């Protein structure tokens, strides 16, 4: 069918010829408009990792000379590397680091190992501050750490040796009260020695995954 373009009358209505499709010349062509889409700036998680006893003392020492501080520092460095590779902002801190006063972050974990006193003992433990300003957040942090660490290492959770010193650990009360924090004892330097000294990468991965669980809102 032929198409004929004609001028429109005052009312904007065109005449139609028989057998023809008439298109008014004055008809405006629609113009698509685009709406700018704003892209939110991604939030980079900020995490602090305390390598227990570093910069201060040796920590627990076994009869053969194995020092806790060596284990803690080695594991802490690997945790920092794992989380930094995810693009997180991660700071390794010493035991009595001056930066701990009022420290603000999305989470903080202090890494320690248990002594050689109980020769055949095996197990790990996690604790938060006895008096917490954010108990719900810190309970979820400890739950994430406990579950993921146990899954990776295969050693049992040992609630019977969580001490007053863990729940009253100094750093938990020095940092900003709104910073979720926990202390983990990664295992006994006697019964878990092989894990702590020869498979420290597994230890570090367990702690890192616990933090990922907490920061990324996974269910423990």
pLDDT, position 95: 98
Asked if 145 contacts 214 with a C-beta cutoff of 8 angstroms, the reply is yes
Asked if 95 contacts 170 with a C-beta cutoff of 8 angstroms, the reply is no
How do the pLDDT tens digits run along the chain, 220 residues long? 444 444 444 444 444 445 554 445 455 555 555 656 655 657 999 999 999 999 999 999 999 999 999 999 999 999 999 999 999 999 999 999 999 999 999 999 999 999 999 888 999 999 999 999 999 999 999 999 999 999 999 999 999 999 999 999 999 999 999 999 999 999 999 999 999 999 999 999 999 999 999 999 987 7
Nearest CA to 54 out of 134, 101, 106, 111 is that of 111
**Sheet containing 125-127: order of strands:** 89-93, 46-51, 107-114, 181-188, 125-127
CA distance 88 to 84: 5
Q: Which domains does the chain have, with CATH numbers?
A: 1-29 (no CATH), 46-215 (3.40.630.40)
3-state secondary structure of 97: coil
Nearest CA to 19 out of 38, 2, 40, 34 is that of 2
Asked if 154 contacts 187 with a C-beta cutoff of 8 angstroms, the reply is no
Q: pTM to 2 decimals?
A: 0.82
Find all residues with CB under 8 Å of 21, minimum gap 6, and list them: 1, 2, 3, 4
CA distance 156 to 211: 19
Neighbours of 205 (CB within 10 A): 19
Q: Which two tokens stand for residue 182?
A: 């926990």
pLDDT, position 177: 98
Residue 4 bridge partners (DSSP): 22
């Amino acid at each position: 069918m032929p198409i004929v373009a004609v001028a429109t009358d005052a009312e904007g209505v065109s005449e139609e010829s028989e057998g023809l499709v008439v298109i008014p010349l004055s008809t405006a062509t629609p113009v698509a408009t685009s709406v700018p889409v704003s892209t939110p700036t991604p939030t980079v998680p900020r995490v602090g990792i305390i390598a227990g006893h570093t910069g201060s003392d040796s920590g627990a020492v076994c009869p053969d000379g194995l020092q806790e501080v060596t284990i803690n520092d080695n594991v802490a460095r690997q945790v920092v590397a794992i989380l930094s590779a995810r693009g997180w902002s991660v700071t390794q801190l010493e035991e009595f680091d001056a930066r701990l006063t009022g420290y603000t972050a999305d989470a903080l974990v202090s890494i320690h190992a248990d002594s050689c006193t109980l020769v055949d003992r095996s197990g790990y433990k996690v604790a938060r501050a006895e008096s917490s300003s954010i108990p719900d957040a810190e309970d979820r942090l400890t739950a994430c750490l406990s579950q993921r660490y146990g899954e990776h290492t295969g050693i049992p959770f040992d609630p019977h040796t969580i001490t007053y010193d863990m729940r009253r650990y100094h750093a938990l009360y020095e940092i900003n009260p709104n910073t979720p924090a926990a202390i983990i004892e990664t295992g006994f330097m006697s019964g878990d020695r092989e894990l702590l000294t020869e498979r420290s990468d597994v230890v570090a991965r367990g702690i890192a995954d616990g933090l990922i669980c907490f920061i990324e809102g996974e269910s423990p």
